[in-house]
Structure 1
Amino acid sequence: MQSTPIPRYLGLDVGSKRIGVAVSDELGLTAQPVLTLLRKRNPKDDLRSLARLCRKYDCAGIVVGNPLHLSGELSDRAEKTQIFANELALLAKLPLYLWDERLTTREAHAILYEAGKSREEHKPLVDQVAASLILQSFLDAPR
């Protein structure tokens, strides 16, 4: 008896300088940090790199952190993120899920402190951890 494979998702924490990347495991239970992509001068280069990661991990969808204000209103960054996310979804030909990312960076810093990492060690990791938190929240949400 052959079972239907669980879809994998790419999770992103999109910033102006870095993009944290995470992917769900083959069981669809946990989000795993993958890498921190340093943004290129040309956003199309970033889009192509992320689309390649979608293919590499055979993703069924893209979950992008939506940076809202604490009030829930769209921030200036949210508009830019949504435009970027929509371009990626079109390029990768995958469904896009914008996911509330409020306070994930703060939570990511707390996790890294708990793990014994100094503030200097956070920079290359914090975006990956934030992407994992965003994706994990998506995976845990009832569908």
Structure 2
Amino acid sequence: MTESSDTPGDFPATGRLAAIDFGSVRIGIAICDPDRILASPLEVHSASEWAKDGDYYRELTKQERIAAFVVGLPIHLDGGESEKSLQAREFARWLSVETGKPVRLFDERFTTADANNRMRAAGYTRQGKKKRLDAVAALVILESFIEACRYRGELVGEPLGEPSEETPGDTPSKGESIG
């Protein structure tokens, strides 16, 4: 498969999105409806050999009629990136190549804390939280992405490619990542 370019015009304005909370052990997945009004956690998938899971992601894209993906980008509070950020970027590029769908990276700061709070409020047991936490974190990423696009009236997040040349702590430029 060929790598898709990722300019704002390539990212569809409508259609189902899938958000990915990429982790080294588990990958949380959430989806929304084609009008991007309702989002829900879908599942948690093993991350142990993600680079060999092309068939899984292609089938997920087909079954769920996914138009594009949003991958959570772990960013430090000061705006800097880590090894985990580089891994998420690598996964996002791979996902775009494997599925042929556009992918945006979106700042995922505080999503796991928000997911934990939601699950606690819903009365999940410790074991229940462990099984669903990553999918709920993906839900938080997806809801935040959709809401930020609506609020700003433009595509948010960051296209695929190399990390920006900002110094850690710089604020992203307009139309890029917000958190």
* 1:38 maps to which of 38, 41, 46: 46
> How far has the Cα of 1:75 moved from its partner?
1.5
User: Please, what TM-score do these two structures have when normalized by structure 1?
Assistant: 0.90
Equivalent positions of 1:114-125 (< 5 A) are 114-125=121-132
CA contact (8 A) 2:18 2:66 kept: yes
Equivalent positions of 1:24-103 (< 5 A) are 24-40=32-48, 42-103=49-110
CA contact (8 A) 1:11 1:64 kept: yes
Deviations 1:21-49 (A, max 9, x none): 01111321122111000223x32333431
Deviations 1:77-114 (A, max 9, x none): 01011101101101111111101100100110111100
Equivalent positions of 1:100-119 (< 5 A) are 100-119=107-126
Whole-angstrom distance in 1 between the partners of 2:54 and 2:131: 20
- How many residues align structurally? 138
Going from structure 1 to structure 2, the CA distance change for 1:114 and 1:39 (only over 3 Å counts) comes to same
Whole-angstrom distance in 1 between the partners of 2:54 and 2:122: 31
Q: Percent identity?
A: 33
CA contact (8 A) 2:25 2:47 kept: yes
Whole-angstrom distance in 2 between the partners of 1:63 and 1:141: 13
User: Please, what TM-score do these two structures have when normalized by structure 2?
Assistant: 0.72
Whole-angstrom distance in 1 between the partners of 2:74 and 2:53: 19
Deviations 1:101-137 (A, max 9, x none): 0010011011110011122321111001000010111
> How far has the Cα of 1:139 moved from its partner?
1.1
CA contact (8 A) 1:30 1:139 kept: no
Hey, which of these two has a bigger chunk of helix by percent? 1
Q: Which residue identity does 1:33 align to in structure 2?
A: P
CA contact (8 A) 1:21 1:35 kept: yes
Whole-angstrom distance in 2 between the partners of 1:112 and 1:104: 12
Structure scoring higher RCO (CA < 8 A, sep ≥ 6) equals 1
1:7 aligns with 2:15: yes
Whole-angstrom distance in 1 between the partners of 2:68 and 2:14: 12
